[in-house]
Amino acid sequence: MRFNWNYLKLFLLIVCITGLYSFSDYRSNQKKINGISLEFVSENNLFLSKDVVNKLLIQNYGSLKNVPKEDIVLNTIEKVIETNDMVKNAQVYLTINGELKSKIAQRQPIGRIGGLTQFYLDEDGKKMPLSRNYSARVPIITGKITGKSLEDVYVILQFVNDDDFLRKNIIGIHIDDEEKYQLRFRVENFVVNLGDVNDLEEKFSNFKAFYAKAMKDQTLDNYKIVSLEFDNQVVCTKI
C-alpha cells in the first residue's frame, strides 16, 4: 500500500501552527501592564475625575502597572469602576502593547430633588447623589415627594429635556398635596399649572402658542397663573 505523504505534511503543519499559537498566547499572557488610560465618553464629565477612578482602582488592586496580563480580569475591573455612584457604565480592555484602557460613561442628572433629603434624578429615572465637584443646573423638584410623583416628574423632565424652549426656561417643578404639578420659569413671574402628566404634548403645544402670542402682545407680565389643566385650553389668571 502506498503511503500518502500529503497527510503527514498536513498533520505536521497543523502541529506547527498550534504550537506557534500556543507559544504566542503564552508570551502574550506573560506580558505586563505598562500603563493605564482612562477616557470619559459622555459630553458633560463634571461629576467624576480621573484621579477619583485611579484611587478607586488602587484601593481595590494596588498598582496595576507591571501586573501580568493573565492576572487581569476585565469584567471585575469594570464592576469595581461601576461601584462609583457617578458612573453609568464602564468598558475595560487591553491593547496589544499592554495598555489597560477604560471608557467610562458618567450619569447625567435631569432634575434635583429639594427638601431635607436632596439628590438628583438621572436620565434613567434613578436616584443619583449630589456631587462635591459640581452642582448641575437642572430643574429643582419641591413639594410632595413620593414614588408615584417621582415617576411623574421623570416623565415631565424627559419631555422638557427633549424641547429646546422648555429646557432653557423651566427651572422648577412643584408637586402639590394632590400630586398635581406646577412649573416655574426662569424669567416670567407667572407659574404654570400643568395638572397631571396626561396629554403633555398637547398641553405644552398650547402653552407655547399662548407664550408666543403674549410675548408679541407684550402681555406676559400681566399674568400670575397660567393653567393647562383643562382640555385644549390655556386659562390665565391676571395679576
Least confident among 32-41, 114-123, 154-163: 32-41
User: What residues have CB less than 8 Å from 162, skipping those under 6 apart?
Assistant: none
Q: Hey, what's the torsion of the CAs at 167, 105, 126, 135, to 10 degrees?
A: -60
The whole-number average pLDDT for the span 96-120 is 90
* pLDDT at residue 239 is higher than 70: yes
pLDDT tens profile 32-90:
778 888 899 877 778 888 888 888 988 888 877 778 877 788 899 999 999 999 999 99
Q: Which range, 3-7, 57-61, 141-145, 219-223, is most confident?
A: 141-145
DSSP state of 96: T
What topology is assigned to 32-106 in CATH? Answer: Ubiquitin-like (UB roll) (3.10.20)
Over the stretch 162-205, which tens digit does the pLDDT of each residue have? Answer: 999 999 999 999 999 988 999 999 888 899 999 999 999 999 99
What does DSSP assign to residue 91?
E
CB 104 within 8 A of CB 36: no
The whole-angstrom separation of Cα 229 and Cα 193 is 7
Identify which has the larger pLDDT, 170 or 27: 170
* Confidence at residue 122, expressed as pLDDT on a 0 to 100 scale: 95
* Average pLDDT rounded to a whole number, residues 142-166: 94
pLDDT for residue 210:
93
DSSP of 222-233 = GEEEEE--STT-
What are the start-end ranges of the E strands in the chain? 35-40, 87-94, 99-106, 109-113, 119-122, 127-128, 140-143, 170-175, 181-185, 191-195, 223-227, 235-238
CA-wise closest residue to 133 among 51, 41, 236: 51
Query: Does residue 92 or residue 23 have the better pLDDT?
Result: 92
Topology of the domain covering 146-238: Rossmann fold (3.40.50)
Q: How far is CA 196 from its chain centroid?
A: 26
User: Is residue 100 within 8 Å of residue 64, measured between CB atoms?
Assistant: yes
Q: Which residue has the higher pLDDT, 114 or 66?
A: 114
Is the pLDDT assigned to residue 129 strictly greater than 80? yes
What are the residues facing 109 on neighbouring strands?
A: 122
Using CA atoms, how far apart are residues 216 and 211, in angstroms rounded to an integer? 8
pLDDT at residue 19 greater than cutoff 80: no
CATH 3.40.50.11690 region(s) of the chain? 146-238
Counting residues of the chain whose pLDDT is more than 70, the rounded percentage is 87
Residue whose cell numbers read 423632565 = 157
Collapsing DSSP to helix, strand or coil, 18 comes out as helix
Where, residue-wise, is CATH 3.10.20.310 in the chain? 32-106
**pLDDT attached to residue 205:** 94
The end-to-end CA distance of the chain, in Å, is: 111
